[in-house]
Amino acid sequence: MNYTQLFRNIRESKGLTHDGLAKLVGCHRNTVINVESGRPVKFKTIAELMAKMGYNTNSPETKSIALLWLEAISGINLTQAESASEAHERIAQYRASEKEAVRLLGELIMREHLTVTQIRTLYYAVEKPEVISILENIRRLQSDDTGE
């Protein structure tokens, strides 16, 4: 079973039509149809629909849909032991590299004696990578003008 079938079964078991669930949530009926047809949707949208049907984020139903949704978008069968093991390894590698990045950032902050304003600016730039690209382009233009 995939997440679209499970979602439809849950909606129907609640006695809700596409329109009924959409009205309950306050969204367009196409949102519900998109979930059930497998069109790309954010899991946040599915979680909101599930919550309005009475399933919190820790419910077995929501967790099952989350797992099936992840399988659908990743192409990894997370219910198979070897696939799940591979996914856990990747997550562990990501967390390790994330911890190393935090450590290096902490060292940089201390070494350069960054102010709170500078730290906030760095955080903003991380949240908006397009800002970094703009700054790099400006720096490149300046170095072209000065011949550096």
The pTM of this model reads 0.56
Residue 115 has pLDDT above 80, yes or no: yes
Digit-coded pLDDT (tens) for 20-62? 999 999 999 999 999 999 998 999 999 999 999 999 989 999 9
For residue 73, the model assigns a pLDDT of 83
Question: For residues 32 and 11, is the Cβ–Cβ distance under 8 A?
Answer: yes
What is the DSSP secondary structure assignment for residue 39, as one 8-state letter? -
For residue 84, the model assigns a pLDDT of 64
CA atoms of 102 and 91, how far apart (whole Å): 16
Q: What kind of fold does domain 3-74 have according to CATH?
A: 434 Repressor (Amino-terminal Domain) (1.10.260)
| Average model confidence (pLDDT) across the chain | 84
Report domain extents, the chain: 3-74, 114-146
